[in-house]
Structure formats: structure tokens, C-alpha cells
Amino acid sequence: MKHYLFGFALLTLLMAIACFYSFSYKYDQWVNSNTIIKQQNNPNDLGERSNFEEDKKNCSTKIFLRKTQLLKYFGQDIKSQEVCNFGYFNNYLKKYGQFAGEGVWYAPPTGAPSVQSDFYPSGCSFMRFSRGDYLLSECFEMKKIRKILVTGDSNARKLTQNMIQLFEDIAGKKCKEIAFQKSGNDTKYFDVPNLNNSKILTKPCDFGFISCSSWRYQCPMDYSSNGKFEDNVTIEFIPMFRFVDLSMQLSLDERNATRRIGLLSANNKLEYLLKYYLPYNGFPDMWIFSPPFHHESLHHNLTVLKVDINYLINIMNSFVPARTKIIFMADARKCNDKLPKHILQTNKQQMNVSMNERIDQMNRLWYAALRPKIDNSKNWNVLLDATKITCPFVCTWHIDGAHYVGVWYKLMSEYILSILCHS
């Protein structure tokens, strides 16, 4: 009788285990094929289905909600992969002619973006500094990073703000504002002595006081091995809404005289930065350049844009010192359902293509122009394909069709620092 009861109990236990694994497998399938599709088709999460159908065509990135699914996808422990560095992303561009972006997202069970979210590229793995095994200050000391410049539109501004927040979180101390442009038309921020009666000309900025202003902060590094804070790192944001940004120029009032004393013309903001402001204040050790494609798409055709992109790359190659690490980002697709109507209408009238098709075209021009330069310079680097990695979240993570939720910028800040320090 005892043997019979034992056998019955064992059989019941085995059946329960089998049912559990069967349910777990079914749940995994349901998460990927049902829950995600419902989230993507839900107007409250990702906009109308028509928008999702348009975006998903070029979307090779997947969302996994459980860690076990990551292991099934990679077929091995993802921690055993090579740590992501600039060499991996640069080589990908040289080989395939585009930025790397294949991989998977791990998202929390809600599917909403949070600090638990993480992107896992197919060919390497990130070592985020909040989880790292050595100090950020040691990395910056080794890489000789004491000054960071970020240029671009309002997305670049938000990235800079979140990078400052990241420094504060790691160090446990606040960053200090050391310079702030009072308005987009305030030229005192960019003053350089001895311009010999020449003056800076500015045009009104249409994108608001915060977006149009430049600013500079000093941030403490995290504790070193001896328990003391290392030297501060300076991080500066300068807005650039176009590749050829005419919001700032240098007026040479006495052209004949200025030629004799060696003054160079500065016909746009980038030229003024490269020829005067940065040589006087010191070039950055790291320059993060975010392309303002969202703004360019409303003005230029692709032929003009190609010329402007090549102009930018050539002038940066001529004036930026070889010691400066330049990191070129790409632009990500927008959520059409959240874009203002006047932008959609302008885009339709001028280009007869959607905003996202336009961004895809501009990114391809960007990749083609950068590819030969990456081949020839060890300090010119590229990052992730922002379009590919944001495909699953194209509207979930957008707040207004042009900007993302804060978590996205925080994650990108961590990835940039991780790639830098493991290169």
C-alpha cells in the first residue's frame, strides 16, 4: 500500500512539473506573439496600426520580457559575449555601410520603458557603469577625458541633461553650472577677445529659450581608490539645428584689414565654433555629434543635404585636433501619430514622403559620408543605429513625436560611456 501511495504521489509530481513547463513555454510564445502585437496595435501605446505597419518593415529588433527568452535567442549566456566598444561599431559600418542595430530589448513585464530596460546587441554586450566593476573616474583618467561637448538639436540637449544626471548619480554629488547663455541671441557666451572690431551676428531662434541656449557644467567624478573625488569633468551643450546653421556668423567689418591680421571668415555657427570659440576655450576631449535630421527634413532636399553633410565632415576634419574623440550618432524614426499636424503637412507638401522615410534616407546619406572617414581615423567613431533599436518602442517611448521619455536618454548616456571606456 505504501509503495502504491508513493508511486501515485511521484506520478502526480511529474505531471505537475510537466504542466508547469508546458504553461511556461506557452506563456513565452504568448508574450512574443500576442502581448507585444497587442501593445503595438494599441493606439494608447504605439499609435494607429497604419503607423506600426509602416515602421515595422525596417524593424529587426525584438522585445523580450523575460531573461530566459534572451538566452533562447542567443543560444548562450549573453555575458560571454565581447563587451561593446567603438571597434565593433566602426567595423560594422565599414563592412555593411550602416550603423549596427540588430539585437533585442529586455523590458520589464509591463512592457513600459523603465530603468530595468536594456538593449542587447547581437554581436556584443554592454557593461553599464551603474553595474560596472571599475570607476568612471579611472576610465576618464586613462582616456584623458576632462571636457565633453555635445552638439545637436533638442534631443541632444536632453541627452546632455541625462548624462549630467548620470554623473551625479554615480558620484553622489551635484554638478555645478559654470556658464549659461541668457538667450539664443546672447553673444557674450561665445565672446572671444581680440576680434578687432568684428562682431558676432545672430538670428532669432524659433525653438524656445531652453532649446536655443548653450550651457556648461562641471561634474565631479566618482570616488577613486583612495577615497577622494577625482578632478571635475566639464560637459557643454551647444545647440545646432542645421548642419549649416546660420543662427550665428562673424561679421568682418573691416575686411581688408582683417585679412592682413589673419582673421578667418565664419559664415555659420559651426565655422565660428571651429575657428574661434573652441580654439580659445579649448577643444573638447570628446565631442558627441547628434545630427539634426528632424529639422533638416523640413527644409532641404536630399541633394542639398548631401552637400551640407560632406561640408560638415570636411570642415571638422580640417579644424578638430586629432586628439579629440568624435562620436557620431544617428537619428531615430519619429511617431507620426504624435507629430504636430503642421509638421506632417509641411513634410507632405515638400517631399511627398513620410517623416520616417525621410529620416531613413538622411541616415543613409550620413552613413555613406562617414564610412570612408571612419576607415582613416582612429578617433572618429560611430554608435548604434537609433532607428533600428527604437523600432519596437517607436511610439511607446515618444512623448510628442520628436522626443523620447527620459529613460531612453539615460540608457543612451550609459551606453556611450560604456562603449568609450571599453574601447
SS (H, E, C) the chain: CHHHHHHHHHHHHHHHHHHHHHHHHHHHHHHHHHHHHHHHHCHHHHCCHHHHHHHHCCCCCEEECCHHHHHHHHCCCHHHCCECCHHHHHHHHHHHCCCCCCEEEECCCCCCCCCCCEEEECCCECCCCCCCCCCHHHHHHHHCCCEEEEEECHHHHHHHHHHHHHHHHHHCCCCEEEEECCCCCCCHHHCCCCCCCCEEEECCCCCCHHHHCCEEEEECCCECCCCCECCCEEEEEEECCCCCCCCEEEECCCHHHHHHHCCCCECCHHHHHHHHHHHHHCCCCEEEECCCHHHHCCCCCHHHHHHHHHHHHHHHHHHCCCCCEEEECCCCCCCHHHCCHHHHHHHHHHHCCCHHHHHHHHHHHHHHHHHHHHHHCCCEEECCCHHHHHHHHCCCCECCCCCECHHHHHHHHHHHHHHHHCC
146-201: pLDDT as tens digits: 999 999 988 899 999 999 998 888 878 899 999 998 766 778 888 888 776 567 77
Give the cell for residue 216: 556648461
How close are the terminal C-alpha atoms of the chain, in Å? 68
What pLDDT is recorded for position 305? 87
Residue 321 has what pLDDT? 94
Q: Which three cell numbers stand for residue 256?
A: 581688408
3-state secondary structure (DSSP) of residue 121: strand
Q: Cα–Cα distances in Å, from 218 out to 32, 138, 167?
A: 44, 17, 10
| Rounded CA separation 68/21 (Å) | 13
The model's pTM? 0.78
Q: Are 55 and 338 in contact (CB under 8 A)?
A: no
- Residue 378 confidence (pLDDT): 75
* Beta strand pairing call for 147-152 and 103-106: unpaired
Q: Report the alpha-carbon distance of residue 317 to residue 117 in Å, rounded.
A: 36
Residue-level pLDDT at 131: 43
Residues of the chain scoring pLDDT < 50: 20-57, 131-133, 254-261, 349, 351
Largest CA distance in the chain: 113
